[in-house]
Amino acid sequence: MKNLSFEHLPQYCFSANRQFEKNECHMERTYKLSVLLLVRRGVLRFSENGVPIEVSAGEYYIQCAGLHQQGPVPSDSPNYYFIHFKGDFCKAGALPIRGKFKIDKIQPIISKMELLGDAGERLEYEALFYELLCALKRQLPEKSTPEKLRAYILEHFAEELSLDGLMRVSLLSKNQTINIFRDAYGTTPHQFLIDFRLKKAGELILATNIPINEICFRIGFTEYSGFYKAFSKKYGVSPQEYRRRTSAAALPENVYFIP
């Protein structure tokens, strides 16, 4: 099951309350946006690409963009708040597409969004939307072992990480640690670490003037040659050429340098 990713922040589009009439069915559509549903009363029933979905009071569900939705059976007079948004989804995302929520924790945020009305600024809606997503994430059960491993790698990526260290987090054997991580994220812990370090390197090369050999050691590589080879393979150019090309591409038109 895919999860909502926070790597690129979701973009708020529109939100409102919805109350179904008795025996009302969900509409049929293939919608271009994703929709977060927060059911407060009753039961909402629909299908996505033919798969039946049922969302009860105290549950949230994210209808992912592009899926064909139908209402083959009536819903049980659900009352819910919905938010249309644009977002990215992946297996290793931060928020599952369905889960439970405590109405007393979420309703105050919804009420703030309702009070904004038509006069609300886009930024105000965005801020409350992110507050709501963070509140939903805080209510998730304790992290699974793969999630703990991923969080540990992200927190300590610039340090010297070893499989023995990851085993102390997972409390499993070497093979078990590698296998459960691969099953969850489609890659080994080592490759995930390297990919994340290279991503950070790319960001630092673009956003700063830090010398590239210094960036290499800041992100956890112990040898420049290994960093250079891995970076060139991932980005298709050397770190120096990556900085030169992206810097040149960012220059506005009609800018001239006087030698």
Contact between residue 77 and residue 21 where contact means Cβ atoms under 8 Å apart: yes
Tell whether the model's pLDDT for residue 255 goes beyond 70: no
Look at 8-17, 33-42, 140-149, 156-165 and tell me which has the smallest mean pLDDT.
140-149
Nearest to 81 by CA among 9, 14, 23, 25: 14
H or E element: which one contains 163? helix 163-170
Average pLDDT over residues 88-102: 87
Contact between residue 153 and residue 193 where contact means Cβ atoms under 8 Å apart: yes
Rounded Cα distance between 185 and 130, Å, is 25
Tell whether the model's pLDDT for residue 163 goes beyond 60: yes
Tell whether the model's pLDDT for residue 253 goes beyond 70: no
Rounded Cα distance between 173 and 177, Å, is 6
User: 3-state class of 114 per DSSP?
Assistant: helix
Give the model's pLDDT for residue 256: 36
Give the model's pLDDT for residue 90: 81
Give the model's pLDDT for residue 179: 95
pTM: 0.63
Give percent of the chain with pLDDT exceeding 90: 81
Nearest to 141 by CA among 188, 101, 192, 187: 101
Strands 34-48 and 29-30: unpaired
- Per the DSSP assignment, residues forming a β-bridge with 51 are 48
